[in-house]
Amino acid sequence: MPSLNDEIFDQGLDYADTFASGSPQVDILSADPGLTWSNISGTTLGNKTGASIGATADAATGTGRRVTLAAITDGSVTGNGTATHWAIHDNSAIISASGALSGGGQTVSSGNTWTLDAIDLIIRDPV
């Protein structure tokens, strides 16, 4: 399950949907950035600007609400190393979500492209 910034909880998933219209960026990283903006610059191995986040909808599994980061097929690799995590951010101050890549990581080389399956960001209903 991705980690979510407090702003997501404060504004609900509508914040993530509105954030999308401001051209969010998704980075692949060599370490978990948590939700700390300063951790992006030292660990980024590539990015995709203008990522697409869908409108708030019912969660596909279980109960709750979700927004979906659309699959990425054309991310730019800007460094060499092993990508282990991803982060969605506004390219200036706020990481809205981050998580581990499935499969434990992937070796990447500058100049190549990277892909990422769609990711659901879910806030579960209270039990």
pTM listed for this prediction: 0.84
- Does residue 7 surpass a pLDDT of 70? no
71: containing domain: 3-123
pLDDT tens by residue, 86-111: 999 888 888 888 999 988 899 999 99
- Angle at alpha carbon of residue 82, lines to 16 and 108, rounded to 5°: 90
pLDDT tens by residue, 17-75: 666 556 789 999 999 999 899 999 999 999 999 888 887 778 877 677 788 899 999 99
Strands 81-83 and 44-49: unpaired
Q: What is the pLDDT of residue 95?
A: 87
Q: Are 29 and 84 in contact (CB under 8 A)?
A: yes
Q: Are 95 and 33 in contact (CB under 8 A)?
A: yes
Q: What is the pLDDT of residue 43?
A: 97
User: How many domains does the chain contain in total?
Assistant: 1
Q: What is the spatial distance between Cα 4 and Cα 43, in angstroms, rounded to a whole number? A: 19
Q: What is the pLDDT of residue 93?
A: 83
